[in-house]
Amino acid sequence: MEKKFELKEMWFNNTDAEVILTGILHKEFLQYDTKVRMPINRLNALVNLLQKNNEGFDLYDHMCSFNLGFITEYNVVLPVELNRTFTNSELRGEELVPLKQIRA
């Protein structure tokens, strides 16, 4: 059975290269709270998946921002009513595709 990640919250800022996802990791009958680091360039794909799985979803309805001088911190808390469960391959996207090398 593939692991599934139930997303609860996202944290990122305007200077970081990563997004921190908090949620629950499910594998068969086990589940536990965890944090996952994801490259910031995958954030748009994750938001697109949320919109695809939840009709009428708008990220800005759930986003808060905190201005800390030169850094703006963003926090997104997703409500329980949303379908917010993803497989590992959905989270990692194109990173999961192995590179093929041809050598002579």
The DSSP-derived string for the chain is ---EEEEEEEEEESS-SEEEEEEEEEETTEEEEEEEEEEGGGHHHHHHHHHHHSTT--GGGSEEEEEETTEEEEEEE--TTS--EEEHHHHHGGGGSPP-----
Domain total in the chain: 1
Mean pLDDT, rounded, for 37-65: 90
- Structure-derived torsion over alpha carbons of residues 18, 9, 78, 42, reported in degrees to the nearest 10: 20
The percentage of residues in the chain with a pLDDT greater than 90, rounded to a whole number, is 48
Q: Is residue 68 part of a domain?
A: yes
Q: Identify residue 47 by its one-letter amino acid code.
A: V
pLDDT attached to residue 90 = 83
pLDDT given for residue 104 in this prediction = 52
* Domain of residue 32, residue span: 4-96
Would 10 be classed as within a structural domain?
Answer: yes
**Domain assignment present for 102:** no
Q: Residue 34 domain-assigned?
A: yes
Average pLDDT, the chain: 86
pLDDT of residue 98: 52
Domain membership flag for residue 84: yes
Q: What is the pLDDT of residue 99?
A: 46
- What is the reported pLDDT for 75? 95
Q: What pLDDT was estimated at residue 41?
A: 87
pLDDT in tens, 56-101: 888 889 999 999 888 999 999 999 999 999 888 888 775 545 545 5
Residue 63 counted as domain residue = yes
**104 in a domain, yes or no?**
no
In a domain, 74, yes or no: yes
Distance of alpha carbon 89 from alpha carbon 67, whole angstroms = 33
